[in-house]
Amino acid sequence: MTRSDDDWSPTSFGFELESVDKGTTLKFFHQDWKAQNDHFKVASYCWAILLKGLKDYLENGLVIPFEERS
């Protein structure tokens, strides 16, 4: 990332994949926030929407075009 908000810069995010009996579990993290401010809340919500879309696609083949996402 070349530019970001000051509160985003010190953070890092990623994921781990874990094999389980019925498939694979994705463990996502976004860590090292200095404060749980409004930007933290918005980022958390956006990650949740993105990961829900990934889940819907992987489990059901459902794709929602970007323009139709809320």
Each residue's pLDDT tens digit, 29-55: 999 999 999 999 999 999 999 999 999
Residue 63 lies in a domain: yes
Q: What is the model's pTM?
A: 0.80
Distance CA 23, CA 62 (A): 18
Residue 7 lies in a domain: no
Averaged pLDDT, 6-11: 88
Question: 């696609």: which residue's tokens?
Answer: 57
Distance CA 52, CA 37 (A): 23
Q: Count up the domains in the chain and report the number.
A: 1
Residue 59 lies in a domain: yes
Residue 60 lies in a domain: yes
Residue 68 lies in a domain: yes
Domain range holding 55?
Answer: 37-70
